[in-house]
């Protein structure tokens, strides 16, 4: 199941617990959520049958440097392929990212959008 593979891969890469729900607290923390399903075309304009999901990863932390460091780790997934939790990931691609200040949380936040192409 892709959700389990995403949680495992993000948690291992970022070095912090990443879950669909966010924990309270002031330590560096992250969550992910599905934004959409992506439908692609092959170079010859035939429909690409690989499954895909656009995932948004939000990373919060008390310092901008900490959030940026974790953002760099998320960037290291760009171009990744491999098998995680019995799910074959063909490609992970960064679709966008944005660091920001979150006044309500009184913390820095970085949002990284990743597209996962996979086969169950």
Please state the domain count of the chain.
1
Does a structural domain hold residue 44? no
Q: In what order do the strands lie in the sheet with 107-119?
A: 18-19, 29-37, 51-61, 107-119, 87-102, 82-84
Q: Give the pLDDT score at 92.
A: 93
pTM for the whole structure: 0.80
Q: What is the largest CA-CA distance in the chain?
A: 49
Residue-level pLDDT at 89: 92
Element (DSSP H or E) covering residue 74: helix 64-75
CATH code of the domain covering residue 111:
3.30.2000.30
What pLDDT, on the 0 to 100 scale, is given for residue 80?
Answer: 94
pLDDT along the chain (120 residues), means of 10: 87 79 64 78 60 88 85 87 92 90 88 88
* Residue 95, in any domain of the structure: yes
> Which range of residues forms the domain containing residue 58?
2-39+50-119
């Amino acid at each position: 199941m892709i959700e389990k593979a995403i949680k495992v891969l993000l948690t291992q890469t970022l070095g912090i617990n990443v879950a669909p729900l966010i924990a309270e607290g002031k330590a560096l923390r992250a969550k992910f959520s599905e934004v959409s399903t992506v439908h692609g075309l092959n170079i010859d304009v035939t429909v690409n049958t690989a499954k895909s999901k656009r995932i948004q990863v939000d990373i919060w932390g008390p310092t901008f440097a900490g959030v940026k460091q974790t953002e760099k780790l998320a960037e290291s997934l760009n171009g990744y392929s491999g098998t995680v939790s019995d799910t074959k990931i063909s490609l992970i691609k960064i679709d966008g990212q944005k660091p920001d200040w979150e006044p309500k949380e009184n913390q820095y936040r970085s949002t990284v959008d990743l597209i996962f192409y996979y086969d169950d």
